Amino acid sequence: MYKLVYYPDARLQVPTKPVVEFNDELKNICANMIATMVESKGVGLSANQVGIDKSIFVMQTKKKELIEFINPVIVEMNGHALLEEGCLSAPTIYVPVSRATEVVVKAQRLDGSEVTVVAEGIEAVIMQHEIDHLNGIFFFEKTNSKFRKWATKQLKKVLEKL
């Protein structure tokens, strides 16, 4: 299991690098990321949240499948909804974030093959949250300034007690 990185760690605030080699190291990273996410009871985890500078996220689907997304990009977004979001890099803190209700994501699998995935609801929210991570955007930046100030202060207190 990897060690989690907590906000405002600098690694959560810079974009990650694209994956260019589809090898055993990549397979190991993805397997360890999935193990870390499951162990931490999360439904999504990006590589920079475990200190790895690569464009990879893993997630758990509604059907409890565990999938990796390599070099993911959002190519289409539809609708919007305001929902409470949390993150393994901000334990116990939840703030409302406006997200598209449907997304189309292009990504690669472990063998380098390209896939296009259409997602809605909670799965669409997870993908947007994780792809934000990979672009160096933390979800606190997506809420209003009142919630952002509260969350940043509250998280500091939570992390002091960890």
DSSP 61: -
User: Rounded to an integer, what distance in angstroms lies between the CA atom of residue 147 and that of residue 26?
Assistant: 37
**φ, ψ of residue 127 in degrees (nearest 5):** -60, -45
Binding site for Co ion (CB under 5 A): 87
Comparison of 87 and 127: residue with beta carbon closer to Co ion: 87
Nearer to Co ion, 20 or 73 (CB): 73
The catalytically annotated residue of 21, 76, 130, 160 is: 130
Tell me the C-alpha distance between 130 and 48, whole Å.
10
Among 74, 116, 118, 124, smallest CA distance to 99 is for: 124
Whose Cβ is closer to Co ion: residue 20's or residue 81's?
Answer: 81
Tell which phi-psi region holds residue 158, choosing left (phi > 0), alpha (psi between -120 and 50) or beta: alpha
Per the annotation, the verdict on 85 as an active-site residue is: no
Which residue number is nearest to Co ion in terms of Cβ?
87
Residue nearer to Co ion on the CB measure, 47 or 87: 87
- In the bound complex, what is the minimum distance in angstroms from residue 5's beta carbon to Co ion? 10
State in angstroms the smallest separation of the CB of 49 from Co ion. Answer: 6
- Closest of 46, 127, 31 to residue 89, by C-alpha: 46
CB of 87 to Co ion, least distance (A): 3
Count of other CB atoms within 10 angstroms of residue 112: 14
Q: How far is the CB of 85 from Co ion (least distance, A)?
A: 8
- Just list the catalytic residues: 130
